[in-house]
Structure 1
Amino acid sequence: MAGFSEIFVSQQARLERLAAIAEPLRQPLEIIRDAENGKGLEVGDVASLFASARDQATRAEIQAAASRIRMQWARKTVEFIIPVYLTSFCQNECLYCGYRQSNAIAERVRLSLEDFDKQLDLILSWGHRQIELVLSDDPEFGPEMVARYVAATRRKLDALGGGMVALCSPVYKQEDYVRLREAGLDWVVEWQETYHRPHFDRWHYGSSPKRAFETRLDLWDHVVAAGITKIGMGALLGLYDFRHDALAVIEHGNYMRRTYGIEPHALGIPRLKPARGVLASQKPNRFTVSDDDFRLVVSAYHMAFPTSRLFFNTRESYELNLSLVSAGDLFTVDCETLPGAYLRRHLPGQFSTHDYPPRREVAATLKQRGLAAQYLAEETPCRIALAAPAMETAIDTKRWIDEHAQTRARLDDWEAVLGSAATLGRAGDGMGRSACAATEEPQARVPELLRDILEYFKTVLTTHCRREESELYPSFPQNADVTPMLAAFRAQHERFGVDLDKFERQMVSYGLSKDPTVLVTLGSRMIREMRAHLEAEELLWSRHRPR
């Protein structure tokens, strides 16, 4: 079947031109007057608003008009939604994602249906009635298995009077969405990531199945054909020029409006945020979206689709989201991005998130603004809720002391290996041909030594860090002295993951230059910092013995 990809081919150059205009094609006040009729905007008008917003006073007028239009046309509600992750195994190499295949520090979990049921009972006891099932591209967790989780969610919601089931997953075939709809799925969430093809290919590396750009573009045609008309589209802001990607989202949404007579059920507004072990997400790049520009995108979406739900998530701070959420939007308060983490609490997942106030406090704040909370029922007692924080199992003190001692000894060994690699790497410098020939055999061992170090970092050391976070840290008393230190330890694990990413990338450069200097320097620093990290943990241990 023909889809959006065929039309988009002819629109790409136009979108690039519109994203780059310096002067508006129409005056912003004219565009705002048109938007007030509630019928949305075309991309040319939104491009003109972006150009006009270079003037701060005009930008403020645009944002005020968007809030006014939204309150006029959308329902005076805010829908609560909670993500529930099913698996963190992934076969893709998305350079911005904490679950990418090569990220050694990512914790890999597949949530069994039994544990899913327990966690869902807990979530439902909090009052949540809109569940977003989320999963990475796990080849052992296909659509047939996902349908079982959808059906289980539907049964539990219906038993409580109803609710909504959403799904954010890899792109499936049309017949798979038919099966999922029949299992009880209400709507589908999927971000194009970026609509700019060259950058899409750069961010999705190698043989990743996700590199199928046109397949993602045509997703919504197949979803609608499968009988699901509630769709959540968007782009991950920060992978390319936000103007281009926002215009492309609006063009895609208008295509759905013209072709199928439906508005986007939801519009995603995620911004690129740090993910543990992912170097590309840690530092600002030339496409980083400022808070002011983020507000502008929100205003543009509110005017372009005045009844579609903007999907506010905990990637952003509570204060920022609260200042932008409006009538008819989606709002996430409780958010864990690791499968099963609602039972285990506050474990690192796919990307960094912010802590929010309790859900009832958020609902009360929204009510004061005339916005009623939807899909948030009264809380009820739950046996799982009482059991969830229980981490009172005895800690095997000797085991952790021995493990630290073994780790420290191995770090000493690897430090010596790095010293040898540095010596061998310099051995040929300034030598004659015969002297160099004598060093060729030991120099040939350098790549093997460096690969051995990398393998140790990626396996033994990362496993140790993950086990500390899931088993050891929850056993410490949570108080004003301990909690900040545990947060610092997790941040050190994060830095180790980023350095591990750097080390692995630098191995490629070493293969070309044969100069191990950068790897030796980086590896030596990683070892020093890990030693200091172990010592700090042991100091905390001596002062605040785990339960």
Structure 2
Amino acid sequence: MLTPQTKTTSFIPRDELYNRLDEAQKKFSSQKLREILHEALKLKGLSLDQVAILLQAEEEKDIQAILAAASQVKEAIYGRRMVLFAPLYIANYCSNNCVYCAFRKDNTTLARARLSSKEIEEETLALLREGHKRVLMLTGEDERTPLEYFLEAIRRVYSVKDERGASIRRINVEIAPLDVEGFRKLKAEKIGTYACFQETYDEKLYTKYHPVGPKSDYLWRLYVMDRAMEGGIDDVGIGVLFGLADYRFEVLALLVHANHLEERFGCGPHTVSVPRIEPADGAPLSTRVPFPVSDQDFKKLVAIIRLALPYTGIILSTRESESLRQELFHYGVSQISAGSRTNPGAYSHPGEKTGSQFSLGDHRSLEEVISALIDDGFIPSFCTGCYRKGRVGQDFMDLAKPGLIQKFCMPNGLFSFREYLDDYASPPTREKGLRLIEKLVSEIPDRALQKKTSMGLAEVAEGKRDVYY
């Protein structure tokens, strides 16, 4: 039975978290750090105090130790798979005035757009022709894009098929907070994960960055995942925009939020996203970041999140550069966007100048990203099997924590990868991708699983599509 929650107070103990960081600085030592990393390798997560100490690491040897531990944890839980998706922006009107975002309502230089049903179908078809099977659908918060418009957009995306009969198999959603009834309607459209970022958990700074509009209500946004899960959403994704407050505070607050959901609903977040502020036209703060996060600190915080929340997916967007993304794949990231555009209509009509939300750091196409993943020995995965088999929420975590989920995720990832290679890849990419698949299958220690994987791959090679179990 869920207990009532007081929505007039925050469950983020702001001052206490800053105090924990101060205390951790006094307690920090390389020896203490290594003791914590030893605990992290048990794959049970970390406490707030342990995370606070890891966040104090500044010397190269200590940071490298954190990265090495995170790499081991990621390999143990996720293996070599890397889930791929594309963001699909359907509108950029917004009634908020977030000072770091190009979509803010006072940005009069932005070319605004609201895609029609036909345009949404065109965008979907363009993504399908690239080989995408998973999208994250987004829009600004505005009366011109009400919930019913968004729900119809979901139906349109799911209805589209490309020339091969392929369709989008999973739509994750990132829209403004809803009430419980709104989330019930969203759930009815068979969405995947619902994502919403707090942007910053520092309530005092939050007010500064969100001066007007519905988003200015800190508590309404903070409790959004409670309402989503009350409304039947199985998988939720949380995150912050790094650069708005001390990154060390934000990491601790993310962990508090995850623990809050675990304690109340028996299941923490399915994903955590880690965007950094990037330049955005018409958003002056985006070029004067209040709390800059260096690449070194960014790698460190991603690795620490992986150690603290070992079974939670970490999502990395194309805000970051190609080289940094490739590096972070080894230290904790498990889901990435690829071939991204952040302006409505940009996939089907790349020449049109509708406004983008922010600047991209990685401009590679989907195939170029996949080619690089193959070179690094990763499995580019478009798998959606768990969601359609009902392995979501608590059920997913029950399989993930004892390490059983890899018996599904690796084979299903390979099936979707082989499908991409046969249907969309260029000959060079296909050739080296097939070599990687052969190598990975030969290394599966469980002979029964190896046989089952080989059988599924044979089905795909013979022309069967959407193979999963």
Q: Same fold (TM over 0.5)?
A: yes
Q: What is residue 15 of structure 1 aligned with on the other side? A: 17
Measured after TM superposition, the shift of residue 361 of structure 1 is 3.0
Match of 1:521 in 2: none
Does residue 373 in structure 1 map to residue 380 in structure 2?
A: yes
Kindly report the root-mean-square deviation, in angstroms, between the aligned alpha carbons of the 2 structures.
Answer: 2.2
* Higher share of residues assigned helix: 1
1:103 aligns with 2:145: no
Cα deviation 1:183-241 (Å, max 9, x = unaligned): 12111111100000110000001x31101111111111111111112111011000111
Give yes or no for the alignment of 1:153 onto 2:157: yes
Q: Distance in 2 between matches of 1:35 and 1:4?
A: 33
Question: Is 2:89–2:342's contact at 8 Å kept on the other side of the alignment?
Answer: yes
In structure 2, what is the equivalent of residue 221 of structure 1?
226
In the TM superposition, what are the counterparts of 1:147-546 in structure 2 within 5 Å? 147-156=151-160, 160=166, 163-205=169-211, 207-285=212-290, 287-326=291-330, 329-345=334-350, 347=353, 348-375=355-382, 377-378=419-420
Is the Cα contact below 8 Å between 1:263 and 1:305 reproduced in 2? no
> Per-residue displacement from partner, 1:249-292 (whole Å, max 9, x unpaired)?
1111122223222232111111011110121111343x111111
Kept after mapping to 2: 8 A contact 1:5/1:217:
no
Show the 5 A alignment for 1:39-118: 39-51=44-56, 53-118=57-122
1:34 pairs with 2:39: yes
TM-superposed CA distance for 1:9, in Å, is 4.2
Whole-angstrom CA distance in 1 between matches of 2:315 and 2:128: 20
Calculate the TM-score normalised by the size of structure 2. Answer: 0.76
Query: Residue 21 of structure 2 aligns to which amino acid in structure 1?
Result: A
The percentage of aligned residue pairs carrying the same residue is 26
Q: How far apart, CA to CA, are the structure 2 residues paired with 1:85 and 1:117? A: 12
Q: How big is the shift at 1:352?
A: 0.7
- Aligned-partner residue type, residue 372 of structure 2: T
**Structure 1 162/332 Cα, relative in aligned 2: closer, same or farther at 3 Å?**
closer
Aligned to 1:124: 128
Q: How many residues align?
A: 378
Q: Which moved more, 1:181-190 or 1:158-167?
A: 158-167
Secondary structure of 1:98's aligned partner:
coil
Tell me the residue number matched to 1:133: 137
Secondary structure in 2 matching 1:22:
helix
User: 8 Å contact 2:18–2:249 — kept in the other structure?
Assistant: yes
Q: Which amino acid aligns with 2:194?
A: V
Which piece of structure 1 moves more, 256-265 or 83-92? 256-265
- Measure the CA separation in 1 of the matches of 2:234 and 2:123: 28
Distance 1:275 1:233 in 2: 22
What letter is aligned with 2:274? I
Amino acid at match of 1:103: N
Q: Is the 8 Å Cα contact of residues 92 and 210 (structure 1) preserved in structure 2?
A: yes
Work out which of the two has the higher radius of gyration on C-alpha atoms and give 1 or 2. 1
Structure 1 unaligned residues grouped into runs of 5+: 382-547
Q: Report the TM-score when normalising by structure 1.
A: 0.66
The one-letter code sitting in structure 2 at the alignment partner of 1:60 is Q
Distance 1:356 1:296 in 2: 24
Deviation at 1:330, TM superposition (A): 0.9
The alignment partner of 2:176 has SS state of coil
Q: In structure 2, do the counterparts of structure 1 residues 298 and 231 end up closer, same or farther at CA, with 3 Å as the change threshold?
A: same
